[in-house]
Amino acid sequence: MNTRKERLFYLDFIRAIAAVSIVITHFNARYSVHIPEIKGRMIGLEKIGNIGSGEWGVSLFFIISGAALMYVYEKENDWKRFYQKRFMSIYPMFWMAYSAVLAVYVLNNRTMIGDGIPKWRFLFTILGFDGLLSVNGYATFYLLGEWFLGAIILLYIIFPVLKKAINTNLWGAVALVVAGYIIGLVICSKIALVPATILLVRLPEFAFGMIFVKLNWRADWKISILALILIIANMIFKPEIPASIQTTYIGISSFLVLVFVSALVKNKGIKKICEGISKYSYAVFLVHHIIIINVMNFVDLTKVTLLQSYLLFVVIGCMIAVVAGGLYKINRILVRKACTIFKTVV
């Protein structure tokens, strides 16, 4: 049974950066999907190392997820307890957020979501796979949670097996991950699937995070400089390499750079902010997109200046923080009560 470990700041630091980059991406997307497209209003960086800032943030999330699980559960052998904790950390908050958004949708539209979709497919929503299936062209009752939720659930499911493989035969595990990666890319080239959402394609990032912690690596300045050179070179030369492959190596390189940078952060205020964003990141992940869409639908984006766009982002960011914070605290209270009643773990 694992005991509670000391928090690693670099995990909080990178998770906070990844969360903010994804929120910014979905904010900027409201300008790019506008007809006609609105240019000159987007905030932050659209691309990092020649990949979209959103894809960059998601890649970091996969790496961080593998690293965090390996850090906490490296010596864990009670997998029933592991799955219980993963279940309680994901599903109650997701179901709560989905129910609230569904209720608002029904009240506003006087109709149920998913007209014409077989009712049995609501099972995919209950299981958290509706976003993953929806983005790959399969109609579901998706409202919130993005495709990432389904993908990370699959990675949680296979984590114990992957951990055992890494602990038993590291290079054998690496070979299997790489082989799976290649197979995943080939499958996506033959079938109309979004590579970035497929388990086999995201496995190298998740496994890298696990191995990074397993081997107790430290990203010193030499490794960080090499990783930074790769990122800059990729940005300058824009190689004709599939986006999914670029995302993998740019994500891993960025992780190494950010681990090194995190060690340089000494300001307690910055550390506190990063820890706070990291703590509420899942709640933010669940609610941010729906808030961004609904708020920006009320704004005439064609008349917004760049400065006003930044101010709008701050306002929306505050709204996301309030809603996510409330969701997190209500969920925590209800889950603790449920665990007390059923005598299980949180």
Q: Check pLDDT > 80 for residue 181.
A: yes
Confidence label for 169 from pLDDT (cuts 50, 70 and 90)? very high
Q: Report how far apart the first and last C-alpha atoms of the chain are (Å, whole number).
A: 14
Percent above pLDDT 70 for the chain = 97
Mean pLDDT of 47-63: 95
Q: How far apart are CA 296 and CA 308, in angstroms?
A: 12
Q: What is the pLDDT of residue 33?
A: 85
pLDDT digits (tens, 9 = 90+) for 126-153: 999 999 999 999 999 999 988 999 999 9
Residue whose tokens read 């070179």 = 233
Q: Check pLDDT > 90 for residue 39.
A: no
Q: Are 41 and 301 in contact (CB under 8 A)?
A: yes
Q: How far apart are CA 164 and CA 162, in angstroms?
A: 5
Q: How far apart are CA 308 and CA 305, in angstroms?
A: 5
Q: Check pLDDT > 70 for residue 89.
A: yes
> Taking the CB of residue 267, how many other CB atoms lie within 10 A of it?
8
Q: What is the pLDDT of residue 345?
A: 56
Q: What is the pLDDT of residue 217?
A: 84
How far is CA 283 from each of CA 55, 72, 92, 209, 326, rounded to the nearest angstrom?
19, 21, 11, 22, 9
Q: Among 165-174, 177-186, 206-215, 329-338, whose mean pLDDT is lowest?
A: 329-338
Q: What is the pLDDT of residue 40?
A: 86
pLDDT digits (tens, 9 = 90+) for 111-129: 888 888 999 999 999 999 9
Confidence label for 76 from pLDDT (cuts 50, 70 and 90)? confident
Note every long-range contact of 70-75, with CB atoms under 8 Å and residues 24 or more positions apart, other chains counting.
70/163, 70/209, 70/210, 70/211, 70/212, 70/213, 70/214, 71/5, 71/8, 71/11, 71/213, 72/2, 72/5, 73/2, 73/159, 73/163, 74/163, 74/213, 74/214, 75/2
Q: How far apart are CA 22 and CA 58, in angstroms?
A: 7
Tokens coding 168: 């038993």
Domain chopping of the chain, boundaries:
9-342
Residue whose tokens read 């790019």 = 32
Mean pLDDT of 1-28: 87
Q: What is the pLDDT of residue 343?
A: 66
Residue whose tokens read 């992780």 = 255
Q: Check pLDDT > 80 for residue 189.
A: yes
Q: What is the pLDDT of residue 3?
A: 56
Q: What is the pLDDT of residue 4?
A: 62
pLDDT digits (tens, 9 = 90+) for 192-239: 899 999 999 999 999 999 999 999 887 788 999 999 999 999 999 999
Confidence label for 18 from pLDDT (cuts 50, 70 and 90)? very high
